[in-house]
Structure 1
Amino acid sequence: MTDEMLLLENQLCFALVTAARNVVSAYRPILAPLGLTHPQYLVMLALWERSPRSLTDLAEEIAMDPATASPLVKRLEAQSLVTRERRAGDERRLEIALSDEGRALRARALDVPPQVAAATGLSLEQLAAIRDSLAPLAGRRA
């Protein structure tokens, strides 16, 4: 082991944390016109893929604890983007579904990825390659 191995700039954890913070910061002004925070955007992305879905399933999809996802969903409901209903036949399960407004927002969100690419100075292809290279660390499939 050499001293260089312990330099901050050589730490994977530091590079990932710094990159994540910078990427989320790049999203902030892009998502603001949509009325979404970054975590709310993740919820909407998951619902645009499949709706309705249970709160537990939704939280798992976006890698959050249900107790953390629940307030996000409540705020999205207050914005009329989603609905929350108890599942028929199983009152313990909360179903989250897109509202008409939530479905309509998807068309405006199509501009987000190209704007993120422009904000980072990377192409969509470069961003996809970075995302895919992180899949093993994120516990996701590439």
Structure 2
Amino acid sequence: MFSEVKTEEEADWAEEETDRDGYMQYEKEPSPLPSSSRQIIAPPPVIRQSRKEAARALEQYAPQTKARGYKIMKEETKDDPFYKYQRARNNDAVRKFRTKTKEKQLERENELNFYKDKCGTYENEIKTLKRRLSKYEKI
């Protein structure tokens, strides 16, 4: 769909392995660990030297994802009561969805805090039991 124009530097990077989404993958320095346990890191950011190079790069830029399609509404359509009704319903649905997700997130955070506190009390109980056990072992 898009034709890509690459600089020499990008062509050198293109020889590296790419993942299934088309993004480049770079590995850290070789390690004694097996290759399956090596971490993949992002490449260092490319620093542009001049505005001309930045402008040239912008002209050559091709987005990685497809933009969402939309139509520009005519003024006549926007004035239509049915269209206004649909928009109002959609806006209500969006607000409802966002409030629900916020509530769910708060609920998850509260649950997480509850279990963290519970874990802390169990850790304190374990410490006291270990102290008691060490006293009995001395006897």
Asked if Structure 1 and Structure 2 have the same fold, meaning a TM-score greater than 0.5 normalized by the shorter chain, the answer is no
Larger Rg: 2
* Alignment TM-score, normalising by the size of structure 2: 0.21
**More helix, by proportion:** 1
**More strand, by proportion:** 1
* Alignment TM-score, normalising by the size of structure 1: 0.21
